[in-house]
Structure 1
Amino acid sequence: MLGMGVLSALALPPVHFLPILLITFPALGRVLNRAPSWKNAAWAGALFGFGFYAANLYWLVNAVMIRAEEFWWFVPFPSLGCALILAPMVAAPAALCRLAPAGPRRILAFAASWTLFDMGRVFLFSGFTWNPLGSSLAIPGVVGDVLIQPAAWIGVDGLTFFVVLGALFGGEALQDAFRARAGRPCQLFPRHADRIRVAASAALVISISVTASMVRLKTVHPAGEQGPIAVLVQGNVPETEKVGHLNPRDIFMRYLHLTADGILQARDQRPHPAFPDAINRPIVFLWPETSFPGSMLLQDSPRARQIIMEWAPGADAGLIGALRVDENGRYRNSVLALAPNGDIAAVYDKARLVPFGEYQPPFIPLQIVPQGGMAAGPGAQTWHLPGIPPVGPLVCYEVIFSGLTVDEHDRPRWLANVTNDGWFGDSAGPRQHLSSVRLRAVEEGLPIARAANTGISIAYDGFGHELGRLGWGKTGTLVVPLPAALPTPLFAQYGRSLPALLSLAVFLLAVVRPGRKR
């Protein structure tokens, strides 16, 4: 089971090798059906989960290697430790599904409970909902654009349910068909008619999903106020320079020069060929999370803020990722909104902190996070800056939290995500992070602009369609006129209650045994 879990990680970004799930999940399903007790089933689930999370989080070790001379002893723990913590989130549904009778109903119960426990990762420490299996459908390009549209109705968790369900039933039916042809005993679907029903059901679900997605892409249109012209500044500063506070002045000047170039491009794009009325739209530039060493200077020095805006003539606002210290002396990972005169127009503090990176659970005896970690902000906000469409700021991995990225009482017209994936190198990590950005755009129907220190800086519209990108390891600016928001999707109205109710209903359907007729 450990190996099956490792192989399953190939379905996730950036590989997206979905066919592997037709092999690995049926193997787990057969073990769950044959397990003599719930304990054996739980152990099988735990091994599968440990392999799955250890493989898809391998890149976490890169963050430790940046400060290896100080934290060399911690190198084995990030990916393996997270996998150990997350393995029970697979062990629990493996044990719970035994409430259903062996056979298809038990497999159905496992798919539903996998989804429910996967959603429950939002309550683990400060939350760690990284890499839900639904993100495997966020394939780059047009194919992914179509496959992820159902997230507008059921969210990424709903996609996860159907991916797991399809892998279990589709894979087992396919394997049983090969067994029957080879004259070997079948496992879950011994009758040919049952295999045909599974294939027909899968084809029907896929057809409905693709058709509904195509209809949405063709018939839903942006409405209301258009977004600003976003200037995404990618300084491409190696993390070793930032951690070592090397060349802070040179880095600051690099950002100033890039910003000036980007603003000039934005002004030249008025009007933009695709957006003829762009001449009336504001210009907003974004600097990534903790943009440069000594970024707390922005909190303390009005002159530094003025210099930034002087290098951005014509910009209506600058959104700067920066550390700051609050009135209690606690560090906060923040976004500062600078007005054209350099004043701080708004401050947003990151609410969801990275476990063991920015946040240390109090029961951990070893000092892992310096000074016990940062202080968290109150949650999602919407900024109403003068002359700029309402914007929802997000810092780094806050964007992975489905249904929790937008103030539901004051919905923005676009989202601004500042991040720094430089900690994790040119690995799968930044690409997995990117899939979350794309899925949030679909779920909320909002365009999103993302500025990343070393990449990938990108912009999506409310369909999750890519508007432009600046690749990994490149220094430069990306200038993108953002479209208007889409009408509020169903998921944005009801949130995670939709996939939760779907999964719970299916689970109850699987475990509740109908009464026998006399």
Structure 2
Amino acid sequence: MGLISVAAFPPIHFVPIVIISFVGLIWLLDGSKEEKNFNRKQSAKVSFINGSFLVGYNFGLGFFSAGFYWIGFSFLVDVEKFSWMMPFAILGLSACFATYIGLVTLITFYLSNRGIGRIIIFSIVWVVFEWIRGFLFTGFPWNLLGTIWVNSNNMIQFASFFGVLGLSLITALTLSSFAIMGYKNKPIIWRLKAVGAPVSLMVLAWIGGVYKLSGVDTDFVDGVLLRLVQPNIQQSEKWKPEKRLNHLNNLLELTNSPSVQGDTVKPTHIIWPETAIPFSLRGTLSPALEIISKAAPKNGALFSGALEITNNQFGEKKFWNTLKVITPENKNFDSYKKFHLVPFGEFIPFREQLETLLIDNKYSALARIDFSRGSGLKVLNAPGIPPASPLICYEIIFTGNVVPANVDEQNRPEWLLNITNDAWFGLSMGPYQHLAAAKFRAVEEGLPLVRVANTGISALIDPYGRTIVQTRLNERNFIDVGLPKAIMDRTFFSKTQALFYRFLH
């Protein structure tokens, strides 16, 4: 059941399939033979494993295995060294995350009986664990249930009030309510009313979205023309020293190409993707900064992801995943250091212990550097453009944590800038699902989103979550676009999110 439900998410978008999977999950839970007040002599562990927990755990194992399969593509970049880890990574991660849904069904079973009460409790507990999934063990809120509506501009407006988790709640309630139709001991009229109530709520959410978007056009900031550069550098080639100059020339060629809007049209700001500059701009490679700064538009700026290497007070090297603002006059105008690092990707948890275990394994993937953690979200400034909230890679997926909380209304960023490198994941569902999560941040915050990816998908999203333009996956291209204005009145979600999210970060 869990496995087929992934077809409702991008890029397939077959939403009706989740009705089948959620109804099946509820019916299996209803059929659980576990006794709520089991005999004290009976092992609690046996009851826990054999009953309601296992119903949800098996669902979760399918859901997360199908939803996370794309992570395995990253182990194929260096097949000889990393491919052996692929099945362990996918199944291991899925097995851990399946525990969340196992706990959902366990708690639901013990707090409710078969009927409407169970549907309500299940929906609430489901969303509580989606929320927990967003911060526990550094957090990985991927494929939240509300994301299935990403293709409906009307439906996703609900997120501007209650976030994607609010949309997850009414979605879970609606999907699971169809299980009531199988309760033959209830009159058909009663069953239809029980299903009709949450369905009506979904319809009202959709109508509210229609009303919110009616007659609303996208307004653009005067005097700003962005060029989003997608160089399409394959991950297996990206960090080869002999390829560095080729990669830089690739970026410069796309940056200096004539605009499709005419030779007289010149971009005011250039944006390159995550770690587009695959070397530190310090020391012997500082001449590269001189070349790059000349590509920055006059009175504008070039935004680029870059590797930064510094030395601490003990002379030890520290590595940072950064976003640089480069201008012709002031080479390093502003910068941001990524703070939400990817476990096992940008740092190894318990590195010393794991290296001890794998010290004799010539295929160990742990012989890598650990990136250092930045200080947190910030407002990024650049000449000739409103301030932005910079987000690198999967920092964009964390609902309620994409705009710095410690700024006043006048200094609040007016757009979201997300640079990423999804080349790790090839032609899989991963990049599409990453973009879907990013769209919800635009709706929640009422801010336009500019997303620039190495191999795609690069996109411009207006503050209502509508896609203005986007590239295809795995294409070398650039797009020249304006910068949409932020919504004048802040969204309800952006005003109240501190109650639910900010204290966790």
| Residue 349 (structure 1) aligned with residue 337 (structure 2) | yes
Deviation at 1:264, TM superposition (A): 8.6
Per the alignment, in what secondary structure is the counterpart of residue 373 of structure 1? Answer: coil
Per the alignment, in what secondary structure is the counterpart of residue 435 of structure 2? Answer: helix
The residue that corresponds to 1:123 in the other structure is 135
The residue that corresponds to 1:112 in the other structure is 124
What is the rounded CA distance, in whole Å, between the counterparts of 1:453 and 1:352 in structure 2? 19
Consecutive unaligned residues in structure 1, runs of 5 or more: 177-185, 271-281, 501-518
Aligned AA (1:317): A
Per the alignment, in what secondary structure is the counterpart of residue 455 of structure 1? Answer: coil
The residue that corresponds to 1:197 in the other structure is 193
Deviation at 1:125, TM superposition (A): 2.2
What is the rounded CA distance, in whole Å, between the counterparts of 1:483 and 1:231 in structure 2? 14
Deviation at 1:124, TM superposition (A): 2.7
2:105 to 90, 94, 107: 94
| Residue 161 (structure 1) aligned with residue 172 (structure 2) | no
What is the rounded CA distance, in whole Å, between the counterparts of 2:95 and 2:415 in structure 1? 37
The residue that corresponds to 2:382 in the other structure is 385
Per the alignment, in what secondary structure is the counterpart of residue 138 of structure 2? Answer: coil
What is the rounded CA distance, in whole Å, between the counterparts of 1:21 and 1:136 in structure 2? 9
- Tell me if the contact between 1:402 and 1:440 (Cα under 8 Å) persists in the aligned partners: yes
Per the alignment, in what secondary structure is the counterpart of residue 214 of structure 1? Answer: helix
Deviation at 1:315, TM superposition (A): 5.9
- Report Cα offsets for 1:283-339 as digits up to 9, x if no partner: 22111111143x213686443222113234436111110111233322111101112
- Tell me if the contact between 2:74 and 2:425 (Cα under 8 Å) persists in the aligned partners: yes
- Tell me if the contact between 1:380 and 1:406 (Cα under 8 Å) persists in the aligned partners: yes
1:233 to 223, 229, 240: 229
1:374/1:499 Cα in 2 relative to 1: closer, same or farther (>3 Å)?
Answer: closer
Aligned AA (2:281): L
1:404/1:499 Cα in 2 relative to 1: closer, same or farther (>3 Å)?
Answer: closer
The residue that corresponds to 2:493 in the other structure is 491
Deviation at 1:128, TM superposition (A): 0.7
The residue that corresponds to 2:428 in the other structure is 427
The residue that corresponds to 2:307 in the other structure is 323
- 364-373 or 155-164: which moved more? 364-373
Deviation at 1:498, TM superposition (A): 6.3
Deviation at 1:479, TM superposition (A): 0.8
Deviation at 1:352, TM superposition (A): 1.0
- 74-83 or 260-269: which moved more? 260-269
Deviation at 1:162, TM superposition (A): 1.5
- Report Cα offsets for 1:245-301 as digits up to 9, x if no partner: 44211111110111112679597447xxxxxxxxxxx822111111143x2136864
What is the rounded CA distance, in whole Å, between the counterparts of 1:376 and 1:283 in structure 2? 31
| Residue 103 (structure 1) aligned with residue 115 (structure 2) | yes
Deviation at 1:236, TM superposition (A): 0.6
The residue that corresponds to 1:258 in the other structure is 254
The residue that corresponds to 2:149 in the other structure is 137
The residue that corresponds to 2:75 in the other structure is 64
Aligned AA (2:99): P
1:402 to 382, 394, 399: 399
Aligned AA (1:362): F
The residue that corresponds to 2:57 in the other structure is 46
Mapping for residues 188-337 of structure 1, pairs under 5 Å: 190-218=186-214, 228-261=224-257, 268-269=264-265, 283-293=268-278, 295-297=279-281, 301-314=285-298, 316-328=300-312, 329-337=317-325
1:81/1:345 Cα in 2 relative to 1: closer, same or farther (>3 Å)?
Answer: same
- Report Cα offsets for 1:201-249 as digits up to 9, x if no partner: 1342133112211121126677896583221111111111114344211
1:326/1:166 Cα in 2 relative to 1: closer, same or farther (>3 Å)?
Answer: farther
Aligned AA (1:132): L
Per the alignment, in what secondary structure is the counterpart of residue 336 of structure 1? Answer: strand
1:160/1:132 Cα in 2 relative to 1: closer, same or farther (>3 Å)?
Answer: same
What is the rounded CA distance, in whole Å, between the counterparts of 2:458 and 2:90 in structure 1? 25
| Residue 447 (structure 1) aligned with residue 448 (structure 2) | yes
What is the rounded CA distance, in whole Å, between the counterparts of 2:75 and 2:240 in structure 1? 14
What is the rounded CA distance, in whole Å, between the counterparts of 1:266 and 1:472 in structure 2? 25
- Tell me if the contact between 1:233 and 1:262 (Cα under 8 Å) persists in the aligned partners: no
Aligned AA (1:159): L
Normalised TM-score (structure 2): 0.87
The residue that corresponds to 1:181 in the other structure is none
- 38-47 or 128-137: which moved more? 38-47
The residue that corresponds to 1:509 in the other structure is none
What is the rounded CA distance, in whole Å, between the counterparts of 2:115 and 2:180 in structure 1? 12
- Tell me if the contact between 2:387 and 2:413 (Cα under 8 Å) persists in the aligned partners: yes
What is the rounded CA distance, in whole Å, between the counterparts of 1:443 and 1:299 in structure 2? 42
Aligned AA (2:174): G
The residue that corresponds to 1:515 in the other structure is none
- Report Cα offsets for 1:97-123 as digits up to 9, x if no partner: 121233221221111011001111122
Per the alignment, in what secondary structure is the counterpart of residue 157 of structure 2? Answer: coil
- 235-244 or 412-421: which moved more? 235-244
1:261/1:236 Cα in 2 relative to 1: closer, same or farther (>3 Å)?
Answer: same
What is the rounded CA distance, in whole Å, between the counterparts of 1:17 and 1:415 in structure 2? 29
The residue that corresponds to 1:73 in the other structure is 84
Aligned AA (2:142): W
- Tell me if the contact between 1:402 and 1:496 (Cα under 8 Å) persists in the aligned partners: no
Deviation at 1:407, TM superposition (A): 1.0
- Tell me if the contact between 1:233 and 1:255 (Cα under 8 Å) persists in the aligned partners: yes
- Tell me if the contact between 2:225 and 2:481 (Cα under 8 Å) persists in the aligned partners: yes
- Tell me if the contact between 2:259 and 2:265 (Cα under 8 Å) persists in the aligned partners: no
Aligned AA (1:251): H
Normalised TM-score (structure 1): 0.85
The residue that corresponds to 2:473 in the other structure is 472
- Tell me if the contact between 1:322 and 1:334 (Cα under 8 Å) persists in the aligned partners: yes
1:417/1:169 Cα in 2 relative to 1: closer, same or farther (>3 Å)?
Answer: same
- 354-363 or 233-242: which moved more? 354-363
What is the rounded CA distance, in whole Å, between the counterparts of 1:266 and 1:373 in structure 2? 45
Matched residues, percent identical? 33
- Tell me if the contact between 2:273 and 2:419 (Cα under 8 Å) persists in the aligned partners: yes
Aligned AA (1:56): G
How many pairs align?
469
- Tell me if the contact between 1:230 and 1:449 (Cα under 8 Å) persists in the aligned partners: no
Per the alignment, in what secondary structure is the counterpart of residue 394 of structure 1? Answer: strand
What is the rounded CA distance, in whole Å, between the counterparts of 1:120 and 1:230 in structure 2? 37
